[in-house]
């Protein structure tokens, strides 16, 4: 029987995507690991790989089809020895309209109907064993060859990629290898302290629930132009609505004096031979990271019946792009120098805003301990940002402006910036949030402490 190829879930929050184009056509030979199609997700256009070999017998979802639900069959793969007669009776799902939504849980495949769905582990039955004594997913230099999706799945499940044997081309670790490792219990053995919450607990978090329909306004009576929502805008609308409805936000604000920071920034940028150009936002990122390291209980997220305390401090930074907003992440920002943060942020922002489409990889914009949203460059004095789940806090940074302050009993002038911290009250209480914001203010007003 033909093997089904299904719409994959390319991120933890993906429920549907657009099938941008097929890179293989009906009749083409397909090998495991071949890139066969491009999928537009809520954040980027990504390639999907085949996990079985055979011949592409029938394309069920045509190029350009929008809103294809995760786990929907998109093509049929003929195994060795099968011909077109095996496709008899197969109904095409490519009508150019909305794809049928998947069942709540995909049925288990039987021996009579093999399934190589990219979002299910069935294809692993035909793959080589995933666990090896030496783990040939790594070359002699210790570098591990794995697809981005496999790396993300392994990180979420707490699996050491070095212990896996890849079944993809040249021993590359792919999705089915991770699924097999999870079934064989490797996830349970690895890092139980940060193991994911049980299904009952995960279902309580906004990111885990199936999204409901968004309320729609009636068309206006006045003249208007209709603009369909992009995938990214749909996800932004859904996730931020869920965030405000399900996360008990509270807000703390502090004024931070910037004069010492601006002086240090000018001196560092004026150094001869400098290969960097520091911005105020680079200092903000570093200060936020050091504050989280100083107040580790705030470096956490809500997990239903538990709280996850992160070991690393990863700071997301909101970047405006034509279709909406993306939040690239500076990993282990507390351990990096200002020049490194500045150069990384410049590279991530440039690739996020690439005229040809966003070039960030999923692992570059997913996760993070806390996000920074800076609207100071637009002259915004202060604002309250919406938490980006599963994070538990977001720092809204306003413009630095000259304001009167009292120093030693006299009125003086200082450059002051207002920072507002939005916090998930399920994770962080008022006193702890105040400690975090106070630590941030301390680093901003004594910037030399960031260099120690």
Burial 36-66 (b: 16+ CB within 10 A, else e): bbbbbbbbbbbebbbbbbbbbbbbbbeeebb
All residues at 6 or more sequence positions from 181 whose CB lies less than 8 Å from its CB, including other chains: 130, 131, 154, 157, 159, 163, 164, 187
Q: Which two tokens stand for residue 27?
A: 């009749």
Q: Coil, strand, or helix at residue 404?
A: strand
- Whether 170 is catalytic is no
Output the CA torsion sign for 217, 219, 221, 227: positive
All residues at 6 or more sequence positions from 265 whose CB lies less than 8 Å from its CB, including other chains: 278, 279, 280, 283, 447
First CA to last CA distance, the chain: 65
CA distance 304 to 39: 31
All residues at 6 or more sequence positions from 266 whose CB lies less than 8 Å from its CB, including other chains: none
All residues at 6 or more sequence positions from 100 whose CB lies less than 8 Å from its CB, including other chains: 69, 72, 93
Residue from 170, 249, 311, 425 carrying the catalytic annotation: 425
CB 186 within 8 A of CB 159: yes
Count of CB atoms within 10 A of residue 304's CB?
A: 16
Instruction: Give the phi and the psi of residue 419 in degrees, each rounded to 5.
Output: -115, 130
Following DSSP, what letter does each residue of 143-207 receive, concatenated? -B-B-HHHHHHHHHHT--GGGB---SGGG-B-HHHHHHHHHTTHHHHS-GGGPPPPHHHHTTSTT
Look up residue 113 and give its DSSP letter: B
Instruction: Give the phi and the psi of residue 315 in degrees, each rounded to 5.
Output: -110, 120
Count of CB atoms within 10 A of residue 238's CB?
A: 18
CA distance 321 to 355: 10
CB 403 within 8 A of CB 414: yes
All residues at 6 or more sequence positions from 445 whose CB lies less than 8 Å from its CB, including other chains: 256, 257, 260, 261
Instruction: Give the phi and the psi of residue 9 in degrees, each rounded to 5.
Output: -90, 105
Give the catalytic positions in this structure: 425
């Amino acid at each position: 029987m033909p093997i089904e190829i299904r719409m994959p879930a390319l991120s933890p929050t993906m429920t549907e995507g657009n099938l941008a184009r097929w890179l293989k056509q009906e009749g083409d030979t397909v090998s495991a690991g071949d890139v066969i199609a491009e999928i537009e997700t809520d954040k980027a256009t990504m390639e999907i790989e085949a996990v079985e070999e055979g011949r592409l017998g029938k394309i069920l979802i045509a190029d350009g089809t929008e809103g294809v639900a995760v786990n929907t069959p998109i093509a049929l793969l003929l195994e060795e020895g099968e011909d077109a007669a095996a496709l008899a009776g197969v109904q095409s799902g490519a009508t150019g309209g909305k794809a049928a939504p998947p069942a709540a849980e995909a049925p288990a495949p039987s021996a009579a109907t093999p399934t190589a769905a990219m979002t299910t582990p069935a294809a692993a039955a035909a793959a080589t064993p995933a666990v090896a004594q030496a783990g040939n997913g790594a070359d002699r230099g210790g570098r591990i060859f794995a697809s981005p999706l496999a790396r993300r799945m392994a990180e979420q499940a707490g699996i050491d990629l070095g212990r896996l044997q890849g079944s993809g081309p040249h021993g590359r670790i792919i999705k089915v290898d991770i699924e097999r490792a999870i079934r064989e219990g490797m996830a349970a053995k690895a890092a139980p302290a940060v193991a994911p919450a049980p299904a009952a607990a995960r279902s309580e978090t906004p990111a885990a629930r199936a999204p409901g329909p968004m309320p729609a306004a009636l068309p206006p009576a006045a003249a208007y132009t209709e603009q369909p929502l992009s995938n990214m805008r749909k996800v932004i609308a859904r996730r931020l609505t869920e965030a405000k409805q399900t996360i008990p936000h509270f807000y703390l604000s502090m004024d931070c004096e910037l004069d010492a920071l601006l002086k240090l920034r000018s001196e560092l940028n004026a150094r001869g031979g400098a290969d960097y150009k520091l911005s105020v936002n680079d200092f903000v990122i570093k200060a936020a990271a050091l504050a989280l390291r100083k107040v580790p209980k705030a470096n956490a997220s809500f997990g239903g019946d538990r709280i996850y305390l992160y070991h690393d401090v990863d700071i997301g930074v909101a970047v405006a792009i034509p279709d909406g907003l993306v939040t690239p992440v500076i990993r282990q920002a507390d351990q990096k120098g200002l020049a490194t943060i500045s150069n990384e942020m410049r590279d991530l922002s440039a690739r996020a805003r690439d005229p040809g489409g966003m070039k960030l990889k999923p692992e570059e914009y997913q996760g993070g301990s806390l996000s920074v949203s800076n609207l100071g460059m637009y002259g915004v004095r202060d604002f309250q940002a919406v938490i980006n789940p599963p994070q538990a806090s977001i720092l809204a940074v306003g413009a630095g402006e000259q304001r009167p302050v009292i120093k030693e009993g006299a009125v003086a002038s200082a450059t002051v910036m207002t920072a507002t911290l939005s916090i998930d009250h399920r994770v962080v209480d008022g006193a702890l949030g105040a400690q975090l914001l106070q630590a941030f203010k301390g680093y901003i007003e004594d910037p030399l402490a960031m260099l120690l």
